[in-house]
Chains A and B, each alone.
Chain A
Amino acid sequence: MSEALQPSAPVLAVDGLSIALPKGGDRPFAVENVSFEIKPNEVVCLVGESGSGKSMIAHAVLQLLPRGVDVVSGTVTVAGQDPSKLDGRGLRKLRGGNAAMIFQEPLSSLNPLKRVGKQVEEMILAHQRPAPAMAAVRERVQTLLTQVGLPNPELLEKSYPFELSGGQRQRVMIAMAMANRPALLIADEPTTALDVTTQRQILRLIDDLRRERGMGVLLITHDFGVVADVADRVVVLRHGKVVEQGTASDVLRNPQAAYTRELIDAVPKARLADIRATIVRPEPLLEVVGLQKTFRVKRGWLQPPREVLAADGISLTLHEGETLAVVGESGSGKSTLGRMIMRLTEPDAGAIRFGGADLRQPRGEALRQARRQLQIVFQDPFASLDPRQKVGDAIARGPMAYGTSRAEAMAQARKLLVRVGLSETAAGRYPHEFSGGQRQRICIARALALKPRVLIADEAVSALDVSVQAQVLALLAELRREMRLAMIFITHDLRIAAEIADRVIVLQRGQIVEEGTTAEVFTAPRQAYTRDLLDAIPGRDFFDQPGFAADARHIAGIESGIDAV
């Protein structure tokens, strides 16, 4: 039944697609009347915020929609076939055959109990008829793993997913997807869970494979930086409707829809003209000297523990009103640093001084009093709020623990909620009633309720969509000015560091490899590692073009810096 494909015939054609949500959802349709095409050797980016329905489209292509969510009108044509008209066998042939898919979270997308080589093997065995000889299959697995740039494939194919890094796992997913030379690759936010350098590598890999094989790629993302790097064409989606589509350069340079404009502006841009000047005050508020920490990871029954160096002589200073960005890839020890300063993790050695007092000595009540001055906002706003505690309580509990009366603390909580951009009524609701960005605002309000002098933001905006990121960053910048907060901003995203920080520390394997003012680090990085990180910023080439920079809006209030205080 397969027709011969014309060279220019689209590998994917979506025409007037509407997908209904179950009754009682926030809108009747996940996706409404969406049409677009992908030709061979073309990368089309489907861009939109969470909830825009972009993943639904991807899932509809392979008939993978969850129960209760159905296509109500429109057609999908993949390599000449309509998946909805295929029987079980035909559909299985299409999935993983002509059209392969990779997902956002490679760890959970791989079977944790199966060696990765076996998982790739399975993809070949499920599709190739007659079944090839096992030796040939193994050889093919090796070739695939080599093609996706995995080192030492013989050893790697025997590994389990948990033994690999995030980037390696996604490479395995890609190897699997490539196994049967698909005409279409659907990549659903393939780099969102990865750090910047890995993201860069994975995007490059997808692009290389696309070019080599002339395959069409549907790439789903919320990040216009990614679009600028790899897309040929862009489809911008909002609330399930296409607001704009066109070639990548047209949409980026000359967006027609206001919403597209907003999304593009929301991309944090590491541009030198806007980088803040540093003000160094004589007395540091927080001083960290020679911090050491080694984690011992317990292994099997009879094996000695493995040692992981999380901090190897880290020293830093932080002044009042200053923002210090701590940048590094996953595993570089940046979160551990934040936790050690909070004394949530005990360092092995080194000194932490806060306002001249030793912060490593206090125990019990003294530690509790000291902690009041330092607060932290974590990465995952879903996991860091108690689901059974009302938002107002979550914020008021802190001050109440330090002796504020309940009435007063609640009044303050309501004020803070308004301050972070929510309404007073939010106090009486539960965390699940809020979106990710709103929850992160709640977490910020919770941290600020204690009137801390230092705020540690541990990847505080990494879990958020780019547009929401921009809003939360703007909020943090305002609050910092108002409250003369000193901030340690832990992030793997250099764009964000450049937007918000006065000074930057680059961490690699528990050591500071580069340190300086934001301008220094971004204009004249001394270390190759820092240059790698900078090169990995998605969309950097595009957004750094002189013509573009002039258009870009910038987070309000940052330019005025802390002098205005």
Chain B
Amino acid sequence: MTPLGSAAAIGLQAISRIAQLVAVILVIATFNFVLVRAAPGDPAQVMAGQSGASDPKLLDDLRKEYGLDKPYFVQLVSHLGRVVRLDLGYSYRQRRPVVDLILERLPATLLLTVTAFCLALVIGTALGALAGLAAGSVLDTVFTVLSLVLYATPVFWLGLMLVLVFSVTLGWLPPFGYETINVQLSPIEHALDIMKHMIMPVTSLAAIYLAIYARLMRSSIIEVAQQDFIKTARAKGLSGTRIVVGHMLRNALVPVVTVAGMQAGALVGGAVVIETVFAWPGLGRLTFEALLQRDYPVLLGIFLILSIVVIALNLLTDLVYRLIDPRMTTGAA
């Protein structure tokens, strides 16, 4: 194939990939729309109920104002139209653009989830690798039992227990929130304050993932250790450290990356629970509130952003995968 021809082919492939992504996002948006509407009640009912008057006239007016009186299909089409224009609309309740609401909350959630994810990945794989290398030893047994316990612990329960011990009983850590309010702090003190607030939510969120990665890495290391190329490495006269670092770790990481990539999206789901437990001002809380109020635009906006994040994470996983495993680039494996 000529260089020009292959460049054109790559261009075509890229275009078809992007078209696929757009199609996926539209399908997700449709699905989200149907899902949100499937919940009983609508914003008008919630608002009218809260104002204490279930006057049919008021309901009709509210529905008309929000465009909820139009047929479902028309509402869906206008929703998709907005998605294409990247317009997330206005919140019914807060009367502010949904984009602003999300952007306001996003940093707190990202801080929480990214920190938890990185910690879980780094500590989990490290512990798993140690356990796998020492398979059958006391250390391995302790790690395995610990990770099983963490794996089986409900996220919210762990959060509550942490609060009970470290805030209520010991008084070491702030029980909730993102920062201490009504105090003047220097930037460094402010950062430390936020970190202090982060410890418990991050720990609760990371625990289960840490357990998953540790277990996965352990079995992966044990499997890799039995591969022929490890025997080759020994026959080459390499030292134990060189065999582990140069030959085992990278091979063992392949399955961990796969699972971590798939779960990165689910982490945000876990964040909803944790943010509620710790009154963390992030997207999770916003979702929870919007759900109670049937604030459709906010819900749909959050779902859409999360879907895009998950798709982006999948692409990222793909790329990381290729970095780790060259066989992926040609589909030979």
Contacts and interface: CB of A to CB of B under 8 A. Distances in A.
Interface residues of A, number: 39
A162 interface: yes
Given A64-B235, A96-B236, A163-B332, 13 more contacts: A64-B231, A88-B239, A94-B237, A103-B232, A109-B228, A112-B229, A112-B325, A112-B327, A112-B333, A113-B325, A114-B246, A162-B326, A303-B13
B169 interface: no
Given A112-B327, A113-B325, A162-B333, A301 B13 contact: yes
Contacts of A550: none
B331 A299 contact: yes
Contacts of A238: none
B237 A127 contact: yes
Contacts of B9: 303-304
Given A92-B237, A302-B17, A126 B250 contact: no
B331 A298 contact: yes
B232 A110 contact: yes
22 contacts: A92-B237, A95-B234, A95-B236, A101-B235, A108-B227, A111-B229, A111-B251, A112-B333, A113-B326, A114-B246, A122-B246, A126-B238, A160-B327, A162-B327, A162-B332, A173-B232, A297-B331, A299-B330, A301-B17, A304-B1, A304-B6, A306-B330
B13 A302 contact: yes
A96 B242 CA distance: 14
Interface of A: 62, 64, 88, 91-97, 100-101, 103, 105, 108-114, 122-123, 126-127, 160, 162-163, 173, 176, 297-304, 306
Contact of A302 (B14, B234, B235, B324): B14
B231 A103 contact: yes
B229 A110 contact: yes
B105 interface: no
Interface in B196-251: 227-229, 231-239, 242, 246-247, 250-251
Interface residues on B, range: 35 or more
Given A108-B227, A114-B247, A97 B237 contact: yes
Contacts of A301: 13, 17, 318, 329
Contact of A176 (B228, B231, B236): B236
B331 A300 contact: yes
B212 to A, nearest CB: 23
Interface in B311-333: 318, 322, 324-333
B320 to A, nearest CB: 13
A108 B232 CA distance: 9
A294 B29 CA distance: 39
A116 to B, nearest CB: 11
A88 B240 CA distance: 10
B242 A126 contact: yes
A303 B11 CA distance: 9
B164 interface: no
A95 B331 CA distance: 35
A64 B325 CA distance: 28
A92 B329 contact: no
B236 A122 contact: yes
A112 B13 contact: no
B10 interface: yes
Nearest to A112: B327
A122 B237 contact: no
Contacts of A109: 228-229, 231-232
Nearest to B231: A64
A304 B13 contact: yes
Contacts of B251: 111-113
Interface in B240-266: 242, 246-247, 250-251
Contact of A303 (B10, B227, B231, B318): B10
Contact of B250 (A93, A110, A113): A113
B233 A111 contact: yes
Contacts of B228: 103, 105, 108-109
Contacts of B328: 300
Contacts of B325: 112-113
